[in-house]
Chain A
Amino acid sequence: DSGVTQTPKHLITATGQRVTLRCSPRSGDLSVYWYQQSLDQGLQFLIQYYNGEERAKGNILERFSAQQFPDLHSELNLSSLELGDSALYFCASSLRTSTMADTQYFGPGTRLTVL
């Protein structure tokens, strides 16, 4: 158990809908990262927050947004969902930030299915 929690575990929704994925980092970790993992694209870095501020952006679509709250938990919002958004979404946390080379601890993931 990494200490990172993600809810929900599974999510099934329809195209065009909007969903919110939630992540609680390990106690004491200030950085949160979001990833998308699909069979054809592998693990893709989406976005990083550090202590409430956006720190780095990866391959995140404009339909997706994220935020980190004062209690350090984070939410990833996915809107206007398409079939291709079906994937595993992971959250990871780390103590510090700098080069993104900090040891990241991954949560168990949220499996999103868009029908």
Chain B
Amino acid sequence: NAGVTQTPKFQVLKTGQSMTLQCAQDMNHNSMYWYRQDPGMGLRLIYYSASEGTTDKGEVPNGYNVSRLNKREFSLRLESAAPSQTSVYFCASSEGPARQPQHFGDGTRLSIL
């Protein structure tokens, strides 16, 4: 049982480049989330999708876009990467928007030069 799968695991980009982080879950969960984790800041919610077909902004949405492609997949796009977006990105899912636990993928380490 894979749980939440994120790709890629590591990526180095140049400022201004774009890329999409992929996330897929095989637990038939309704809700999915994208977080970033920076030293001394804790995990911060970027965007979330309470259910298929809906997306909403979290705490730090600027510079990102998301797509809930279907119930399984939730992608995060950086249109024009900036050094401030260097971070570890985690995707998570849960049965519903207020349900625990949230199951996390093992993260994408992204460096923007």
Tell me if chain B binds chain A: no
